[in-house]
Amino acid sequence: MLDGTVSVERLAQDLAVSVATIRRDLTSMEVSGTIRRTHGGAVIQSLRGADQAFAVRQELDVEAKKNIARTAVEMIRADQTLLLNDGSTLLAFARELAVLPIPLTVATVGVNIASCLSENSNMVTYLIGGLVRHKTLATSGAFAEEMLKAINADTAFIAAEGITVREGLTYSYETDAHLARLLRKQSTQTVVLATARKLRQRDRITAFAASSIDILITDCEDQDTVASFEDVGVKVVQAKPDAGTSNVVRSAFS
């Protein structure tokens, strides 16, 4: 199995074919975007976040996502209207929402998120319609955007491929960035859910500036990173392992 960088000579030896055959095949693979040619060899192209299969992303930072989700759900109050984009962190959040015994209205582009929430009879769930993307299990396109524009929400809960103070919320594709902008525009409050790993990376398209985030919920414990977001006006809430839903149920009815 290929992992990282490999030479033409090594491939020819392992596969028992000529160097010319390997070079020809590598050229074809580079055109398809599978690898990047280097001097004397090739490097496997790393998939951007949105290009990774959902099942793969779901296995990353599992405990951190659960802690973030449990912390986020403590913000919820009865009869709120929420907007959610897609992703494994938002699915973890949806699983926490799905067990709340309070009335809520939730609209999301995540097909698996809508399915999860639909199991709660106290909840009105809208799947924002559009083109279903196989890898992200989310909808996008003009239909989705038009439906989003008709919803006036209390809070948007948003995840991204990367978040930095300098670049803001970033995504692999402009479609996802545009949807994030709409989620923010249609909501009174914007809450971003991000693991510490996401705060150390950026992607190619910026959705909106970090200063436009109202609340950032993260498991990041690096004080310099946290302070950098606070310096631009973001309220940072640290996710804790013992966060739960007991407080939200009491406060929702108080």
Instruction: Dump pLDDT digits (tens) for 180-230.
Output: 999 999 999 999 999 999 998 999 999 999 999 999 999 999 999 999 999
Pair (81, 154) in one structural domain: yes
CA 243 to chain centre: 21
Residues 174, 64 share a domain = yes
pLDDT computed for residue 8 by the predictor:
81
152 and 36 inside one domain: no
Does the pLDDT value for residue 248 go beyond 60? no
Are 12 and 87 part of one and the same domain?
no
Residues 212 and 232: their CA atoms lie apart, in Å, by 9
DSSP letter string over the chain? ---SEEEHHHHHHHHT--HHHHHHHHHHHHHHTSEEEETTEEEEPPPPGGGS-HHHHHTSSHHHHHHHHHHHHTT--TT-EEEE--SHHHHHHHHHHTT--S-EEEEESBHHHHHHHTT-TTEEEEE--SEEETTTTEEESHHHHHHHTT--EEEEEE--SEEETTTEEEESSHHHHHHHHHHHHTEEEEEEEE-GGGGG---SEEEE-GGG-SEEEE----HHHHHHHHTTTPEEEE--TT--SHHHHHHHT-
End-to-end CA distance of the chain: 58
Do 141 and 64 belong to one domain?
A: yes
Same domain, yes or no, for 152 and 68? Answer: yes
105 and 81 Cβ atoms separated by less than 8 Å: yes
pLDDT score, position 22: 84
142-195 residue pLDDT tens: 999 999 999 999 999 999 999 999 999 999 999 999 999 999 999 999 999 999
Q: Are residues 22 and 145 in the same domain?
A: no
Q: What domain range is 29 assigned to?
A: 5-46
Are both 11 and 87 inside the same structural domain? no
Cα within 13 Å of Cα(227), Cβ side: 3
pLDDT attached to residue 10:
81
The string of pLDDT tens digits covering residues 105-129 is: 999 999 999 999 999 999 999 999 9
Instruction: Give residue-wise pLDDT tens across range 81-113.
Output: 999 999 999 999 999 999 999 999 999 999 999
Q: Determine the pLDDT at residue 92.
A: 96
In Å, the largest CA–CA distance within the chain is 75
**CATH code of 118's domain:** 3.40.50.1360
Residues 186 and 96 in one domain: yes
Q: Under a CB-based contact definition with an 8 Å cutoff, are residues 90 and 98 in contact?
A: no
Q: How many domains does the chain have?
A: 2
CA distance 7 to 140: 40
What the block records as the tokens of 217 is 């919920």
Residue closest to 193 by CA, chosen among 66, 39, 33: 66
Instruction: Specify whether 84 is located in the same domain as 16.
Output: no
Band the pLDDT of 7: cuts 50, 70, 90. confident
pTM equals 0.76
Centre a 10 Å sphere on the Cβ of residue 13 and count the other Cβ atoms it contains: 12
Residue 156 and residue 222 in one domain: yes
Q: What residues pair up with 123 in beta bridges, in sequence order?
A: 104
Q: Which long-range contacts (CB under 8 A, 24 or more apart) does 126-132 make?
A: 126/151
Q: Give yes or no: residues 160 and 99 share one domain.
A: yes
High-pLDDT (> 90) share of the chain, %: 67
